[in-house]
Structure 1
């Protein structure tokens, strides 16, 4: 039950990231068309695109880790024997978990600091800064869980096959 709820969360965040990508396309096209027509694009259009870049990246990252869609190079692992490749792959996954946990912790500190100080992002509108920084602990926390699946699960991050495989 918890596993299904967790998977639903990861996939839901990926869908939100996908919808955000569509919004980014629409907002950029609208901005360009407005400028070409001699109009001033709405301030919220540009701001929403900036925020969208952050949210799209952060919310889609855990799903990318799950699907092995992140960038990694298989050149070295492809040359290793199976046993050593497993050790290297799991060691890399452990390092990724540690880095993600540190970034989740620091992101949580930043989020709490923003709430405590009442910080606002004041570019086009006054937006509470915590609405931006909440993405850090959530995303990096979920990425730590996803990388941990490669540490403790049967699936490895590295396939042992060099080159592009799609």
Structure 2
């Protein structure tokens, strides 16, 4: 079991690393595109398309890691006002709701992925790109997010710290 957990954690970290690399690519692509426009050169079509795809990949691959690190935006105003026992209950109920939503989105994302494969859909702009290569990120990312939110439902740690404001 320990080996599976380490492999899972490694995969989650790898997904976050790919998301970080994609963020760097987005910065480079935008700077190159703007520089080309300033010099009167038409930017490459694939440059724009790759940034669109990159936004999707970065968001979907980085989201499960953000859940683990509690890096998603959420407001602690209510949980900070609750007593410790009530805060635990509310935090676990919210995390359970997040598991349910993530699982539903993973399911529908998988159906969309299957539909793209069955129809042999392509995104045709700068180049032919199989649409399933975009939609495969939905079931993967939302499944991992469901697992990560599940850790807050059943694990020792809570999703909410109970501390309102910025604490860094």
TM-score (structure 2 length as normaliser):
0.98
Q: Secondary structure at the match of 1:2?
A: helix
Q: 2:138 corresponds to which residue?
A: 136
Q: Secondary structure at the match of 1:121?
A: strand
Q: 2:48 corresponds to which residue?
A: 46
Equivalent-residue separation in structure 2 for 1:40 and 1:124 (angstroms): 14
Q: Offset of 1:33 from its aligned partner?
A: 0.4
Q: Secondary structure at the match of 1:78?
A: helix
Q: 1:24 corresponds to which residue?
A: 26
Equivalent-residue separation in structure 1 for 2:50 and 2:126 (angstroms): 10
Q: 2:16 corresponds to which residue?
A: 14
- Uncovered stretches (5+) of structure 2, i.e. residues with no partner: none
Q: Offset of 1:122 from its aligned partner?
A: 1.0
TM-score (structure 1 length as normaliser):
0.99
State which of 92, 102, 113 in structure 1 corresponds to 2:94: 92
Equivalent-residue separation in structure 2 for 1:122 and 1:136 (angstroms): 20
1:158 correspondence with 2:160: yes
Q: 1:116 corresponds to which residue?
A: 118
Equivalent-residue separation in structure 1 for 2:55 and 2:43 (angstroms): 18
Q: Offset of 1:125 from its aligned partner?
A: 1.2
Q: 2:148 corresponds to which residue?
A: 146
Equivalent-residue separation in structure 2 for 1:156 and 1:108 (angstroms): 29
Runs of 4+ in 1 over 4 A off after TM superposition: none
Equivalences, count: 166
Q: Deviations over 1:45-80 (max 9, x none)?
A: 000000000000000000000000001100000000
State which of 124, 127, 131 in structure 2 corresponds to 1:125: 127
Q: Offset of 1:36 from its aligned partner?
A: 0.6
**RMSD of aligned Cα (Å):** 0.4
